Chains A and B, each alone.
Chain A
Amino acid sequence: MDKTNFEYVTPRSILVYILKHYKSLIAGLIIGAVLLVALCFFIGEISGNSVEEENTTADEDLEEAKENLNIAEENLENLQYQLQMQEDILEEYENELKKYEENWEEDIYIQTSASDRSAIDTVYQINGDETSAGQLTNLIFATSTNMYQEIAEQLNDGKTAYNIQCLFSVEADLDLYQIVVSVSDESSAGVREMQELSRRWIEDQCTEYMQNHPNTELNLEVSEGDVYTYFDTDIFSTQRTAEEKKISLNNSINTERNSITTTKNNILTKEKEVEEYEEKVESLEKSEKNSVSLGRASIGIRNIILFAFLGAIIGVVVVAVIYIFCFLFSKRLRDPEDMESRTGQNLLGSLWQPPYRPGKDRWKRKLDRWNGVQYDLNSEEQMNQLLFAIRLKIQRNGYTRVVLTGSCDASDIECVYQEVTKSLPTDVSQKLAWGDNPTWNLETEKKLLDADAVILVEKIGESEIKNIRELRMYLKNNEIQVIGGIAT
């Protein structure tokens, strides 16, 4: 069941619905105004002029001073917020720099020199049967991290295994069973020492392998190159990037510190300004002679009017919002128009009288007329109109059996049935019957078996939109025609 297809309203109907509750709106207006002014009195937020009879110039001066004070205080608050932000950022920069410097201590690339570096390449050729030579080459290459660890321990000059790793380059050729070890350092002596240690470690690995595999015959051939000097661009680039990053961080920190100093100065200036305004306000307040103190704070006429006005608007808006909510989310029929606009059921007639008091509530009547709805008929006229509509439908369509039913209370349907049959001619009234909601009442279902059509009777303020839709859907599914609806 697509319920949205039936529900159509106009903005005017919402507006009329709100305006019809004008008493509530006025109440909201008054309560809002009173509450906001009272709230301001009690909280003491407003500190304006006293109720004055004379001396308006002094009052204006005080107002101005207070406005300046408020602005200064607001600026001060913003500056403090800015300072807090700047301090947070400074802390972040400092933490980053600290973290960076800590990492540098561990990084050999930063500690060493990029120019005039000594280096040596050593080629280890493993000869023997292919399987064992391959295994040994792989083993040495895979466990080279242990070599760095051992060399670091043996050198014992403060370098970590990671630092040693940075100075070494190990490449393995598993097809030729060859390992090429390149090592670099600031001095040729250092290079020689590390090369010697690495050679010893590789030889040890080879010996150990042969001990573990006695049947294998392997031969390690070592060919050393000469020591050469070179300029290491990688080290240079790393050092430069690190230096730039450090400079950038230091610059950021300095900029941030300068900003903080400026902000602090601004805060001091602003604090002085606030103090000056406070003193001025205090002196002006003391000089007020013809003032009447009201509660904890004194309040000026202008502020009373302003806050009363604001409160009135807020009050009206709140009440309007509540009524809009009621209008949009109400589940029951509000007036006969709802039958058509929210359920899609055309009306035969209405026996509902709006709750207008005779001679009063002319506003509501006018609003209804503006909305295109007229409730100008009295009960008798409404009944005649309805009777004529029923007769017309029954006689023109040749219906022999029409059932009055609906989703409202059975007594309401019966009441409408009694009134209608009483006034209709006998030949027409004999064709009418009534029954409770057929969606759950078996008797009515039986009556519907030989019925040609149905008239829906719904009570304003009681019948629920959802139930009416369900009933209409039930009748539609059973292919029973609905002549129209009666709102009561």
Chain B
Amino acid sequence: MNIRIEPRKTAVNVIEYLFAAILILNCNTIWTSYEETSLNRFLKIAAVVITVLYILICLNTRVQLSTYKFIFLFAVVSAGYFLIYTAVVRYGVTNYLIFLVDALCIYIVVKLAESDGRLTGILYKFENLVVILAVISLVFWLFGSILGVIHSSGIVYSAWTGEDSITEVPSYFNLYFETQTTEYGLIRNTGIFTEAPMYNFVLCIALLIELFARRSISKIRCGILLIAILTTVSITGWCITIVALFAYYFSRRSLTRTGEFLKAIVIPVALVAVFVLLYILIAYRLDTGSGIIRLDDFKAGFKAWTTHIWFGCGHENYDYVKLFMSDFRSFNLGFSNSPTQILAQGGIFLTVPYLLFTFRWIKTSITEKNLPRILFFICFICLFTITVTSYTFLAIFLFMAYSAIGESRQVQDEVPAISYRRRRVIKGKFRIKFRYLGAKYYEGIHNVNGKEC
């Protein structure tokens, strides 16, 4: 068998995998919280380098002029934001500049990939990496943390405790870390992340991509992600998973009439069951210390915002927000939600771009009648609201790359609903029809690329 390697394609794939890896690593991995390393700074520079490489790879690719116009406008607006911020707020100016530069880099990659029809590919690559991480973490969690067959290979020091102190974290060959334990003594599966909510965020996004962005779902990938979410013992993750699975199964058209009929009967019952389950989980959550602290975070963030409505108290100015937190939680001063973090630290000034991307996401989903994209959005916004991910590359990327979600699923929905048995009988006919639809789909991409007018 002859395998033909195309250098450009391979290079683009490698760069996209690197980009996807950066998206994951930037989500508070334990490697970025080592006392002595500065991986965070490295990641921010790496994002710029990867963008430059991506531009160089796409140097000869014909892209719509409007794409460059958008990139140019984004760059100009970012520069304007930086100048205004420097003139008005003056807190953490360097961090703000890095944040804007990274956001611009992500926007460039998203726009170039979108023009080249490769944006969905980046999402898939991200998901593939998360699945690999999930497998590794599950192995170590089961055989290391639970059964004790594998022993920890050492200890690392993490600065991510919310109290500015250093803690010792057992490490398993630097591939898995035991960072958190539940109140019942069960070790939570946190993979390579500093805490379960962040790992859960990454896993949930991967699951949402599998359910709503892929053309067809893989039961193995789905199973791995579901088990990993379960082992993080994160109520947020469980709730989002329940909602996502429910939305997925009932949003898909059934292949048979019986299936449609059964679905019509089951939906109300399942809806009630899901609501009851969510109510129990959320009620349980709100009764615990973690839940109360999360509610207090909303209050603290909101109060901090009211003191500086327009420009906020400063980018990553956590000390100021801490001043508004209640006394009972002095042992845990970590922030836990994104919306009030953006409001408190960036004010309306920084909230506006997030809102613009959100509205654009909603608008395009509704105008294109793209149900998977809407469902992805609902689940993502829920996650974003109860996890502190405002400035992570992954959240910024998803806000910008919404157009890739549900793109392939829409084409699939055009396939006529017929039973599996009947499909086998009229195999030839179906193939022709399917090929026709596939051709239409690829024709669409071809035109977008600009190779054909």
Residues in chain A within 8 A of chain B (CB atoms):
4-12, 14-15, 81-82, 85-86, 88-89, 248, 251-252, 255, 321, 324-325, 328-329, 341-342, 344
Contact = CB atoms under 8 A, between A and B. Distances in A.
B118 to A, nearest CB: 15
Given A329-B69, A342-B65, 6 more contacts: A5-B453, A7-B66, A10-B61, A10-B63, A11-B58, A14-B68
B259 interface: no
B327 A7 contact: no
A4 B66 contact: yes
Given A14-B68, A325-B72, A9 B453 contact: no
B91 interface: yes
Q: Which 5 A-B pairs have the closest CB atoms?
A: A7-B65, A8-B450, A8-B62, A12-B59, A344-B453
B34 interface: no
Contacts of A341: 62
Contacts of B65: 4, 7-9, 328, 342
B27 to A, nearest CB: 29
Given A85-B320, A89-B323, A8 B63 contact: yes
B307 interface: yes
A138 to B, nearest CB: 41
Contacts of A329: 69
B64 interface: yes
B55 interface: yes
* Most B Cβ at <10 Å: residue of A10, A11, A328, A342: A11
A282 B150 CA distance: 64
Contacts of B75: 321
Contacts, number: 58
B10 interface: no
Contact of A10 (B59, B66, B69, B324): B59
Contacts of B367: none
Contacts of B91: 81
A191 B318 CA distance: 55
Interface string B318-352: 01100110010000000000000000000000000
Interface of B: 55, 58-66, 68-69, 72, 75, 91, 307, 313, 319-320, 323-324, 327, 447, 450, 453
Contacts of A328: 65, 68-69, 72
Contacts of B66: 4, 7
* Most B Cβ at <10 Å: residue of A8, A321, A341: A8
Interface of A is mostly: helix
A9 B68 contact: yes
A328 B62 CA distance: 14
A18 to B, nearest CB: 12
Contacts of B63: 8-11
Contacts of A89: 323-324
Contact of B453 (A6, A11, A255): A6
Contact of A85 (B55, B323, B450): B323
Contacts of A85: 313, 320, 323
7 contacts: A4-B66, A14-B68, A15-B59, A85-B320, A88-B307, A89-B324, A341-B62
B72 A10 contact: no
Contacts of A7: 64-66
Contacts of B324: 89
Nearest to A327: B68
Given A4-B64, A4-B66, A324 B453 contact: no
* Most A Cβ at <10 Å: residue of B75, B313, B320: B320
A75 to B, nearest CB: 14
A82 B322 CA distance: 12
Contacts of B307: 88
A11 B57 CA distance: 10
Contacts of B69: 328-329
A429 to B, nearest CB: 31
Nearest to B68: A328
Nearest to A252: B327
Nearest to A251: B327
B85 to A, nearest CB: 15
Nearest to B326: A248
Nearest to A340: B453
Contacts of A6: 453
A353 B374 CA distance: 53
Contact of B64 (A8, A11, A15, A255): A8
Nearest to A372: B60
A115 to B, nearest CB: 28
B62 A10 contact: yes
B288 to A, nearest CB: 22
A307 to B, nearest CB: 18
Nearest to B447: A5
B387 to A, nearest CB: 27
Contacts of B68: 9, 14, 324, 328
B443 to A, nearest CB: 14
A187 B313 CA distance: 55
Contacts of B60: 10-12
A86 B323 CA distance: 8
A11 B320 CA distance: 43
A11 B59 contact: yes
A81 B313 CA distance: 11
A163 to B, nearest CB: 32
A449 B359 CA distance: 50
* Most B Cβ at <10 Å: residue of A6, A9, A251: A9
